[in-house]
Amino acid sequence: MNNQAIAELLRNAMLNRTPVTQISKIRPEFSLSDANEVQEIGFNLAQAQGEKLAGYKMGLTSKAKQRDVNVFEPIRGYMLASTEIPKNGIVKMNSRIHPRVEPEVAVVLKEELRGPGVTLRDVVRSIEGIYPALEIVDSRYEGFIFKLEDVIADNTSAAGFMVGRVNLLPQIDELNLMGITVRKNGAIVETGAPAAVLGDPLLSVMSLANSLAEEAKSIPAGLVVLTGGITQSVSFVKGDKIEVEWPQEILSFIAE
C-alpha cells in the first residue's frame, strides 16, 4: 500500500467510524517521513472534500499523555474547521469510534509566527489570546494502539476541539499553575495544571512554529493552536457529561 492509499484508508476510517490495523503492522518499513507525507495527503483529501484548516495542534507534550499512549515524543497535527464543537454543545457519538477528551491550553496569535529559530519571547510577543480548551481524540486504529509513525499518519488522532471565551493573556504569569479539573458525570476524574505541558505550554507553540518551518510553513495569525493534553485523556460514551473546569471558565459537553 502506498502513502496515498494509506491516507485514503485513514480518512475513510474516520468518515465510516471503522478502525483499521496499524500501518506499522501492514508496512514494517513505514518511516517518519512517510508518516508526515500521509498526514499531508490526508489534509489535501479533506480540503478537496470542502474542509477548511482551523488550526494546528501539538500532542504528547505532557508525561501523562505520553504514558497514556506509550509514545514518548511530541507530535503535531492539524484541526479541521468542521470538527470544532460549540462551547457547551453536544458531541455526536455517531461519527466517532472510541473518543477520549483532554484539557488543553489554546493559543491564538495576532501575528504570524514563522520559524526556524522562533524563541519563547517571539511567541509571547505574538499572542492575541490564551484560552481554556478541550480536545477530543479518537484514534482510527483498533484498540487505540499505535506507534509514533502510526499516530502521525493518523493526524495525531484529532477528532474535535472546543475553545473557551475567557482570554487568560492578562494572567499569563499565573497560567502555568492554574488548577484544572475534568469531571465525568459530576465526579472528578483528572486534575492538573498547564505546567504539565513542557513546563510551559507556550514552549509547545514555539516547537510547533519551528517544526512547521521544516516544511516551509508558519502558524498564521487567527488560527487556533492546541498545545497538548495536560492530563491523561478520559474516555466517554453516549450519555456522559464532561466538564473541564478552570478558575475562570467551565467548558462542558454532553455526548449524544
Contact residues toward Mg ion (CB under 5 A) are: 59, 135, 229
Left (φ > 0), alpha (ψ -120 to 50) or beta: where does 218 sit?
beta
Residue found under cell 507556550: 202
Rounded to an integer, what distance in angstroms lies between the CA atom of residue 149 and that of residue 90?
A: 32
Closer Cβ to ligand OOG, 83 or 156, answer by number? 156
Closest approach of ligand OOG to the CB of residue 137, in Å: 4
Residue found under cell 514552549: 203
Closest approach of ligand OOG to the CB of residue 95, in Å: 17
Partner whose binding site includes residue 60, from ligand OOG, Mg ion, none (CB under 5 to 8 Å by kind) = ligand OOG
Closer Cβ to ligand OOG, 25 or 114, answer by number? 25
Please answer whether residues 148 and 32 qualify as being in contact, where contact means their C-beta atoms are separated by less than 8 angstroms.
yes
Closest approach of ligand OOG to the CB of residue 104, in Å: 6
Closer Cβ to ligand OOG, 59 or 192, answer by number? 59
Left (φ > 0), alpha (ψ -120 to 50) or beta: where does 131 sit?
beta
Closer Cβ to Mg ion, 194 or 229, answer by number? 229
Closer Cβ to ligand OOG, 69 or 97, answer by number? 69
Residue ranges in contact with ligand OOG by CB under 6 A:
59-60, 65, 69, 102, 135, 137, 139, 151, 156-157, 228-229, 233
C-alpha closest to that of 254 among 191, 183, 159: 183
Closest approach of ligand OOG to the CB of residue 62, in Å: 7
Rounded to an integer, what distance in angstroms lies between the CA atom of residue 153 and that of residue 71?
A: 14
* Strand blocks (E) in the chain: 53-59, 75-80, 90-91, 100-109, 127-137, 158-163, 180-184, 187-192, 224-226, 234-235, 241-245, 250-255
Amino acid identity of residue 79, one-letter, is: M
Please answer whether residues 68 and 232 qualify as being in contact, where contact means their C-beta atoms are separated by less than 8 angstroms.
yes
Closest approach of ligand OOG to the CB of residue 170, in Å: 25
Partner whose binding site includes residue 139, from Mg ion, ligand OOG, none (CB under 5 to 8 Å by kind) = ligand OOG
Partner whose binding site includes residue 140, from Mg ion, ligand OOG, none (CB under 5 to 8 Å by kind) = none
C-alpha closest to that of 249 among 185, 194, 129, 168: 168
Partner whose binding site includes residue 231, from Mg ion, ligand OOG, none (CB under 5 to 8 Å by kind) = none
Closest approach of Mg ion to the CB of residue 27, in Å: 26
Partner whose binding site includes residue 69, from ligand OOG, Mg ion, none (CB under 5 to 8 Å by kind) = ligand OOG
Closest approach of Mg ion to the CB of residue 136, in Å: 9
Beta-sheet pairing, 100-109 with 224-226: antiparallel
Closer Cβ to Mg ion, 3 or 244, answer by number? 244
Closer Cβ to ligand OOG, 105 or 118, answer by number? 105
